[in-house]
Amino acid sequence: MSKQIRAYADGDKLTVKVLLNTVTKGVTNKGAPYLSFVFQDGSGTIDAKYWNVSKEALDAFKPGMLVEVNGDVLCHNHQLQFRVQNMKEISQEGIDLRDYVKASELSENQLKFEIMKYVSDIQDTTIAKLVREMLKQREEKFFVYPAAQKNHHDFVGGLATHVLGMLKLADTLAASYPLLNRDLLIGGVILHDLGKLDELSGAIVTEYTMEGKLLGHISLMQAEISDTAKRLGLEGENVTLLRHMVLSHHGVYEYGSPVLPMIPEAEMLYLIDNIDARMSTLKKALEPIEPGNFTPRIFALENRAFYKHK
Amino acid sequence: MSKQIRAYADGDKLTVKVLLNTVTKGVTNKGAPYLSFVFQDGSGTIDAKYWNVSKEALDAFKPGMLVEVNGDVLCHNHQLQFRVQNMKEISQEGIDLRDYVKASELSENQLKFEIMKYVSDIQDTTIAKLVREMLKQREEKFFVYPAAQKNHHDFVGGLATHVLGMLKLADTLAASYPLLNRDLLIGGVILHDLGKLDELSGAIVTEYTMEGKLLGHISLMQAEISDTAKRLGLEGENVTLLRHMVLSHHGVYEYGSPVLPMIPEAEMLYLIDNIDARMSTLKKALEPIEPGNFTPRIFALENRAFYKHK
Amino acid sequence: MSKQIRAYADGDKLTVKVLLNTVTKGVTNKGAPYLSFVFQDGSGTIDAKYWNVSKEALDAFKPGMLVEVNGDVLCHNHQLQFRVQNMKEISQEGIDLRDYVKASELSENQLKFEIMKYVSDIQDTTIAKLVREMLKQREEKFFVYPAAQKNHHDFVGGLATHVLGMLKLADTLAASYPLLNRDLLIGGVILHDLGKLDELSGAIVTEYTMEGKLLGHISLMQAEISDTAKRLGLEGENVTLLRHMVLSHHGVYEYGSPVLPMIPEAEMLYLIDNIDARMSTLKKALEPIEPGNFTPRIFALENRAFYKHK
Amino acid sequence: MSKQIRAYADGDKLTVKVLLNTVTKGVTNKGAPYLSFVFQDGSGTIDAKYWNVSKEALDAFKPGMLVEVNGDVLCHNHQLQFRVQNMKEISQEGIDLRDYVKASELSENQLKFEIMKYVSDIQDTTIAKLVREMLKQREEKFFVYPAAQKNHHDFVGGLATHVLGMLKLADTLAASYPLLNRDLLIGGVILHDLGKLDELSGAIVTEYTMEGKLLGHISLMQAEISDTAKRLGLEGENVTLLRHMVLSHHGVYEYGSPVLPMIPEAEMLYLIDNIDARMSTLKKALEPIEPGNFTPRIFALENRAFYKHK
Amino acid sequence: MSKQIRAYADGDKLTVKVLLNTVTKGVTNKGAPYLSFVFQDGSGTIDAKYWNVSKEALDAFKPGMLVEVNGDVLCHNHQLQFRVQNMKEISQEGIDLRDYVKASELSENQLKFEIMKYVSDIQDTTIAKLVREMLKQREEKFFVYPAAQKNHHDFVGGLATHVLGMLKLADTLAASYPLLNRDLLIGGVILHDLGKLDELSGAIVTEYTMEGKLLGHISLMQAEISDTAKRLGLEGENVTLLRHMVLSHHGVYEYGSPVLPMIPEAEMLYLIDNIDARMSTLKKALEPIEPGNFTPRIFALENRAFYKHK
Amino acid sequence: MSKQIRAYADGDKLTVKVLLNTVTKGVTNKGAPYLSFVFQDGSGTIDAKYWNVSKEALDAFKPGMLVEVNGDVLCHNHQLQFRVQNMKEISQEGIDLRDYVKASELSENQLKFEIMKYVSDIQDTTIAKLVREMLKQREEKFFVYPAAQKNHHDFVGGLATHVLGMLKLADTLAASYPLLNRDLLIGGVILHDLGKLDELSGAIVTEYTMEGKLLGHISLMQAEISDTAKRLGLEGENVTLLRHMVLSHHGVYEYGSPVLPMIPEAEMLYLIDNIDARMSTLKKALEPIEPGNFTPRIFALENRAFYKHK
């Protein structure tokens, strides 16, 4: 593995493999085109400039590509910057992308194993069939996508990690509160965010797709469940209830739920989604803080600063 | 036609045909079961009681039934009330339901003719095919359903009347503002409220269905468009844009739109839906008012009272 | 035990023991004073009137008294009403008040046993001492008071039942999320609502005290913790953190928290308080509903109606 | 015509005529005074600095002046900047200001002709007299002022262009909805924004006047209508209704309407003002966007980004 | 003076003089017309019915009339009601209306004397001339009108009482805070609510006029100040500032101020208007409460209940 | 006294005494540590850098220290900056800190004298004892602390200056409105912000303490009053009422009051706190403005810009 970005120093001359996080074209005051990048690997990111870029190279690079690049590191405005001499795309085959991005603490196999155990516990055949089919169609993406572009669980495998965290809570809560139907709750947890697989452009260097922006992951998934249930010939109330749970899981209109929770399982889905997201956000925010100090204000937590106790 | 409800007087002994608007079971202090109704015909409504109801009769009547009833009219608590002696369901066949309910000023045929002219004007083949298919599947309901259970356009044919009013505005506005794509706007107007055909239980004595409450007409229709487009093999941006228009046409999250308008046609759809609904509400509210006076506060118009000028 | 209120019938002549839930003085049109009551026992409530009441009797009765009363049951405005002939207070000694009020499904001893197990698990000595002392001072009230005058857990033992429900969740969640300090969370759960013991006037026929209204249970308890810690010579961050958790546990300013949660345990305390209250409210609201139907709108759940699935 | 600003290049030495958009005094670190400008012509704007400015020159220049300036163009912080050598005011006489500013696509005469047609259609003599007089007093300004300092219709002739757009909609809508009084609606559209002629300091380089800020254009115009009606001896309800329409046309309190619409024409005035402003804003925002992309977030449209379809 | 309403008893047969507070027409179930009234005198109000009313009498009575009426008092639904036998209007000449309505504790002369002292203290000639002229035109109404139809200062002379209370505060505050211009503040206090003289229909049995509803007292007065200043040839900033103070004195948009306070005197006018109104409301609410108890919730004070201390 | 900061010029070589307002550690691109400061004296502030700082010096300096420093002044990015050569702490003994910070226009003795006059006027012995004891415990801090870290009264003696301003208003208002209990109002004014003495870290270079952030000054003080009253054996309603006044004096939940004002004195405390704070903020904002101009938008005054009249 080439030198990690976090280890770069002023004056380094390097040949390294990095992932292109962003690619932007610019023009100098003298009219010469150039390219700006953010390079990324598992250790961090760095800004880069490709001056004197050739005409062919100008359109050759896109976010998400893996490249081999040589050049030098310099200090510009108190920040390190990589000045590109040469750069070429390299194949992603045989490469473990987790070397280039932040990833879940759990491996893909662990996530699969743990989540599928909960699936196999579902007793209701309608829910079981629907959940299995939905997951089967999305197997490749489900265990690698992040849960969001930024914010909580924004790493490879983040979505499945988030779902697994919620399944554990669902398990306990279904036991504590008998008015909850366990199968519905488990089913709802697994399906609730699958729409993000269509809404986000990829597991790495994620962006929102045009469909994602215009329709939203909630509506995308609801239509998919309806479609899949028809295709499988599944009928009955539970299909409607699962669609309802997906639609209502943001809990309030302002966050894009067109209906609010109207069954206990939908209410609980919203509550545990919230708990797992908040704990993930807090963990990330508190990690770099010294005990006895406050975090900066955290936008996703109503702009509060949190105290790390001693 | 039997005597109209508005003409009933204290002491009348009558045999009449009426529509059952509501049916409620009760028990007297002495434990005897009875039925309460609201009777309805084209002239108005009246409360009714069926004391001493037989066991069979107790479960025989449901909202939406047409019945022949005989009994007498008396005055209870300053209000007329119908006391039922006998009552039986009669067939709705051959009966023009518009005798029993408020209806659009336009006939079903007029509505059909006018709206289909706009459909036949659509140039874009994807939009045209999709709109035609969606209407074809819902032809029977579309031209008789109301636009809402109460509020604006709450009468037989109300939905189509509302759509026709909007189509006229869409026509002018598409001409005034060249940035609007006429086909998308016309298509969106026609599709935007079709979900109400699933959300409401019927053209008469409408109620919200369980599906309607848990999913909402916006999400119901969006899934249907997605499904129909797949079935017809229709692809491309315009299908997504029509789904977006249906999803966003309430304009704000609080009214159940999971996404907000993000194309000019969606913004305009929201605006003219609003104009037509407001004018319909105002018309209904101002009609019974003497010039120089104010209406009562109108909930759907931000609780304002309107002045009827001289 | 005397005849239960739910069993009363029109025409009954009875001598019974009931609890006075409310007592109101009135004057008839002719100027004669009388008393109105709500009688209560474990089976329900009934309105009562004491006409022709003597001067002495007029001021003799107060909410919360246990009385023996004789009189008859009649039907007034379609509702049963008790007409008092004679009425006298009886001693509450030796009487199990749980016969006269709704009570927790768990006995006082069970609640005590279960909750004290969690207390004895606390490792941090400051937290342990503080929690033990606070509970010791309030032992008599803590296991019988309700959690609120109405709404969730509004029954004898309701507060302890609510705390126990939360402790179980706290247990699981502290295990799931290592960033949570278990002792703080357990301590905060136990202390968070103790102020209600001062805010509410009693375990039965509860009212808000003047202090309760003007200061609120949150501020009452915070001052008590501060005072108790000083008295016990307890110092250090954990006392401040527990005070913070009590102050912030309503989670938003509008519900009377003067500061918002700023440590993970305070955030979690707010979240699980919310979950347990919502599940309790939902349980109560769904119990009397037939499957396939909706509850009335529930004020404490943002005015939503919930569907009871089949 | 001198070289257009959009055509300036690094190193140019130029003598040009430009409009002063802003004028700001500054002091260098060494204490020498200088002037900063934004120069403007029909093609765009450029920052300028006048170093070594003489004492007399320091106070000689104000926003809105036309100047002849010579100097050179250089590149500072990646942006072109004009360095002034000499600068003098020139007379605006005989100069077509539309060479120096953005202007309506319609000429002043076209705007006048089209709008006066609508005026001459007004049947009600009170409304007709009032509208004619109000326009006559403001003829010079009305056809050149913008509709706002920035946002929609922010160009020479913008106000009249906006009014004309609304008159066309008013025409159609008065025909569609018979409950609308056409004369009131047309009159209201013409009068609604006339207060901006007092609120804004000029047709070019507009600023809000002290009166404009402290009173607002809505209140300024309302007082003027009252005054003019008294002077013309006009009486009756329609004067009050027009004052009401001006006061209420922002539709909500937060945007400075002290009363909300209470007649159908006031409601419609608010709605079509909104439509025309939104379409103008959208047009401006979408123009520079490539199909298939989103605009930046648009503040005036609730901060939404709009998609430009293919 | 005839028997006072508060002294009426069931069974009384009376001939009395009362003020008509409200007049409403009704129709019995049998179709006979009748009149409902609220009678009022200085001691209180009572509902009245005039059955078997003649055709002429039906349209003869209006709110605000003084009538001589004979009939009897009976008890209906636990409330006293006056049953009219005969009723005729009597002249208001020579009658002191303060016998029939609640009135200020200060006499008209006291109010005049005290307020005019403040007027004569104004140093600035523009403000002095304007205030004197405005008061002169409204002298008859100003010292008798209430400050509102209900809520604070809702009695004869209420407006002047409110203004006097505010003038006293203004006096002290102008002394405490030198940044306040005393003349502006005094002038603003006197003018701020004069528009209510146009907005309310009379000093007694007040209603909002059509102009009052459609324009609001704030805008009515602002136009009047503008008009009066023109007529008197008054110019300069102070006229604009007084108009600004009138427009902004409700302090927030939601209460009908089209601009918010932007000079210190406007800010202070809003604050002391608020203080005097709140103290008046509180005084009225606390008067009938026993010490140690709470008032009912007071709508005008954010729905809070206030405690009356011992 | 050394040269004042406001008098520094580019090129100065100086030895001066300044207060350290902030201290921040940094690392150069080459990895060398340095210190950044804000220096402060009574005339203003300046940024400073201490390059080549020794290891010992690195941890020697903290905000609030008084230092003697020598170095030179240079111009960096158009702003003056102090480059430190040597720096050492000096004792604060015998030094009048008011030379280094902004201070009240009133001396400590004047503040003490004026405020204690109001204290000695309190008739109620419970209130008098409580207020005297609370002040006695905090005498040293009370007359020097600011009222806030920034915003209104942010200077030495600011808190006492604010309290004195409010006491004067309280005096007049208690006289104007007999429903106000003067002793409670005076007592509440003195106690209301004492919690800031715990919430803020010092009279100079103030920061919020951890306790201040997690508990808030309102809750801190309320617990202290409760504690002090217990210690002095004070009982009765007035202690509760003063606690209520402290808790509710922010007037709305969003600003951290857990209960809203429920006695007239609490309402008035909130209103005059508001008046005095607003006048202080306005005074500060208007001072540097030329007559005829507007201030920048003032965040604490709802983001309004104020006009300074001529």
HEC per residue, chain F: CCCCHHHCCCCCEEEEEEEEEEEEEEECCCCCEEEEEEEEECCEEEEEEECCCCHHHHCCCCCCCEEEEEEEEEEECCEEEEEEEEEEEECCCCCCHHHCCCECCCCHHHHHHHHHHHHHCCCCHHHHHHHHHHHHHCHHHHCCCCCCCCCCCCCECHHHHHHHHHHHHHHHHHHHCCCCCHHHHHHHHHHCCCCHHHHECCCCCCCECHHHHHHCHHHHHHHHHHHHHHHHCCCCHHHHHHHHHHHHCCCCHHHCCCCCCCCHHHHHHHHHHHHHHHHHHHHHHHCCCCCCCECCCEHHHCCECCECCC
Q: Predicted ipTM?
A: 0.83
Same domain, D135 and D274: yes
Residues of D in contact with E215 (CB under 8 A): 222, 240, 243-244, 247, 259
Q: Identify the domain boundary among D70, D98, D126.
A: D98
Structure tokens at C186: 């357990």
CB C297 within 8 A of CB C287: no
Which of C8, C81, C294 best tests the B interface by mutation, with the highest count of B CBs <10 A? C294
Asked if residue B151 has pLDDT above 70, the reply is no
Chains that touch C (3 or more CB pairs under 8 A): A, B, E, F
Closest CA to A259 of A274, A241, A244: A244
- Nearest CA to A102 among A226, A284, A265, A279? A284
Extract long-range pairs of F28-31: CB within 8 Å, 24+ residues apart: F29/A10, F29/A75, F29/A78, F30/A10
Q: Which residue from E75, E294, E305 is facing C29, i.e. has the nearest CB?
A: E75
Mean pLDDT by 10 residues, chain F (310 residues): 84 91 77 85 86 86 90 81 93 79 86 96 97 94 83 81 95 93 97 91 78 94 95 94 97 94 97 95 91 92 93
Which position has the higher pLDDT, A56 or B225?
Answer: B225
Give the chain E residue nearest D257 (alpha carbons).
E258
- DSSP of C140-173, one letter per residue? HHHTT--S-SSSTT-SBTHHHHHHHHHHHHHHHH
Whether residues D186 and D274 share a domain: the answer is: yes
Residue D74 has pLDDT above 90, yes or no: no
Q: What is the pTM of this model?
A: 0.85
The phi and psi torsions of D283 (rounded to 5 degrees) equal: -60, -50
| Chains within contact range of chain B (3+ C-beta pairs < 8 Å) | A, C, D, E
Contact F181 E309 (CB under 8 A): yes
Confidence of residue B2 (pLDDT cuts 50, 70, 90): confident
- Tell whether F219 lies on the interface with C, counting CB pairs under 8 A: yes
Give the model's pLDDT for residue E77. Answer: 65
Report the pLDDT averaged over residues E279-289: 91
Q: Which of D199, D209, D215 should one mutate to test binding to chain E, selecting the residue with the greatest count of E CBs within 10 A? A: D215
Residue D30 domain flag: yes
- B232-256: per-residue pLDDT in tens? 999 989 999 999 999 999 999 999 9
Of E123 and D6, which is predicted with more confidence? E123
- Residue range C68-97, pLDDT digits in tens: 999 999 877 667 899 999 999 998 887 777
8 A C-beta contact, residue C94 and residue C116: no
Q: CA-CA distances (angstroms) from residue E310 to E291, F237, F240?
A: 5, 8, 12
Number of domains in chain C: 2
Whether residue B167 is found in the same domain as residue B242: yes
Does D210 contact F75 at a Cβ distance shorter than 8 Å?
Answer: no
- The residue among D122 and E99 whose pLDDT is bigger is D122
Is F261 a member of any domain? yes
Q: Is C288 on the interface with B (CB under 8 A)?
A: no
Point out the domain boundary residue: D79, D98, D117.
D98
* Chain A interface test: which of C161, C162, C179 (most A C-beta within 10 Å): C179
Same domain, F64 and F88: yes
Range in A91-95, A282-286, B297-301 the model is least confident about:
A91-95
Cross-chain residue pair A241–B214, CB shorter than 8 Å: yes
Comparing CB atoms, the residue among E29, E210, E213 nearest residue B10 is: E29
Mutate to test the interface with C, among F184, F228, F253 (most CBs of C within 10 A): F253
How far is the CA of C69 from the CAs of C86, C87, C138, in angstroms? 6, 4, 34
- Can you give the pLDDT of all 310 residues of chain C as single tens digits? 678 888 898 889 999 999 888 888 877 766 678 899 989 887 878 999 998 888 888 888 988 889 999 999 987 766 789 999 999 999 888 777 777 877 788 889 999 999 999 999 999 999 999 999 999 999 889 998 888 766 667 778 889 999 999 999 999 899 999 999 999 999 999 999 999 998 887 777 677 889 999 999 999 999 999 999 999 999 989 999 999 999 999 999 999 999 999 999 999 999 999 999 999 999 989 988 999 999 999 999 999 999 999 8
Within a domain: D295:
no
Residues C172 and C211 in one domain: yes
Q: Over the stretch A4-38, which tens digit does the pLDDT of each residue have?
A: 888 898 889 999 999 888 888 877 766 678 899 98
pLDDT of residue A96: 77
Q: Per residue in A226-252, pLDDT tens?
A: 999 999 999 989 999 999 999 999 999
CB B123 within 8 A of CB B70: no
Mark whether F194 and F139 lie in a shared domain.
yes
* Distances, alpha carbon E190 to alpha carbons B110, E109, E160, E193, E233, in Å: 63, 17, 9, 7, 21
Kindly report the CATH number assigned to the domain that includes residue A56: 2.40.50.140
Task: Assess whether chains F and B touch, using the rule of 3 or more C-beta pairs within 8 angstroms.
Answer: no
- Inside any domain, residue F120: yes
In a domain, A290, yes or no: no
What average pLDDT does range D32-55 have in this prediction? 87
C53, C120: one domain: no
Residues D135 and D41 in one domain: no
Q: What residue of E is the nearest CA neighbor of B11?
A: E30
Distance CA A301, CA A278 (A): 7
Distance CA B163, CA B116 (A): 11
> Over 70: is that where the pLDDT of B78 sits?
no
Are F147 and F215 within one domain?
yes
pLDDT tens digits along C4-29: 888 898 889 999 999 888 888 877 76
- Judging contacts by C-beta atoms under 8 Å, the chain C residues touching residue F262 are 213-214
Q: Do chains D and F touch (3 or more CB pairs under 8 A)?
A: yes
pLDDT of residue F105: 84
Q: What is the pLDDT of residue E275?
A: 96
E254/D254 Cβ within 8 A = yes
Structural domain containing residue C78: 5-98
Query: For the CA atoms of F175, F181, F185, F186, what is the dihedral angle to 10 degrees?
Result: 70
Whole-number average pLDDT of chain B: 90
Are C233 and C243 within 8 A, CB to CB? no
| Minimal CA separation from E76 to chain C, in Å | 10
CA distance C283 to chain A (A): 7
The alpha carbon dihedral of A86, A87, A91, A97 has a sign of positive
Average pLDDT over residues B141-149: 85
CB contact, 8 Å: E60 with chain F? no
Residue E171 to chain C, least CA–CA distance (Å): 34
Residues 106-125, chain D, touching F (beta carbon < 8 A): none
Q: Does F30 touch chain A (CB under 8 A)?
A: yes
Q: Does residue B268 belong to any structural domain of this protein?
A: yes
Query: Across the interface, do A75 and F29 touch by the CB < 8 Å criterion?
Result: yes
Q: Element (H or E) spanning E141, and its range?
A: helix E139-142
State yes or no: chains C and D have 3 or more CB pairs below 8 A: no
| Nearest neighbour of B78 by CB, restricted to E29, E210, E213 | E29
B241 contacts chain D (CB < 8 A): yes
Return the residue in D226, D246, D249, D252 with the most chain E beta carbons within 10 A, the one to mutate for interface testing. Answer: D226
pLDDT for residue A151 is more than 80: no
Write out residues 256-275 of A within 8 Å (CB-CB) of D. none
Task: State the smallest CA–CA distance between residue F224 and chain E in angstroms.
Answer: 23
Same-domain pairing of D191 and D80: no
Question: Where among D98, D124, D151 does a domain terminate?
Answer: D98
Percent of chain B, pLDDT > 70?
96
Determine the average pLDDT of the residues in A111-124.
Answer: 96
> Which residues of chain D lie closer than 8 angstroms to B274, CB-CB?
271
Own/partner pairs, E121-128, CB within 8 angstroms, 24+ separation: E121/E186, E122/E183, E122/E186, E122/E187, E123/E183, E124/E183, E124/E184, E124/E187, E124/E238, E126/E234, E126/E235, E126/E236, E126/E238, E126/E239, E127/E183, E127/E184, E127/E186, E127/E187, E127/E238, E127/E242, E128/E183
Q: Is residue D292 part of a domain?
A: no
CB pair distance less than 8 Å for C286 and A241: no
Amino acid (1-letter code) at residue C102: K
What CATH number did the domain enclosing B121 receive?
A: 1.10.3210
Let me know whether E152 and E273 are in one domain. Answer: yes
CA–CA separation, F221 and F195 (whole Å): 5
Nearest to A256 among B218, B226, B258 (CB): B258
For residue C291, tell me if it sits in a domain. Answer: no
Q: Is B298 on the interface with D (CB under 8 A)?
A: no
Tokens 């409601």, residue?
D267
Q: pLDDT tens, F204-237?
A: 767 788 999 999 999 999 999 999 999 999 999 9
Q: How far is the C-alpha of F19 from the C-alpha of F38, rounded, in Å? A: 9
- Residue E231 at interface with chain D, using a CB cutoff of 8 Å: no
Q: Do A29 and D292 touch (CB under 8 A)?
A: no
Shortest CA gap B89–chain A (Å): 31
Report the distance separating Cα A178 and Cα A170, nearest Å.
Answer: 12
Q: Which of E211, E243, E257 sits opposite D240 (nearest CB)?
A: E211
Q: With 80 as the cut, is the pLDDT of residue E202 above it?
A: no
> Are E72 and E107 in a shared domain?
no
List D residues 186-215 in contact with E (Cβ-Cβ < 8 A): 210-211, 213-215
Looking at chain D, which residue has its C-alpha nearest residue A26? D78
CA distance D257 to E254: 9
Task: Judge contact between C171 and C163, C-beta under 8 A.
Answer: no
Residue B105: pLDDT above 90? no
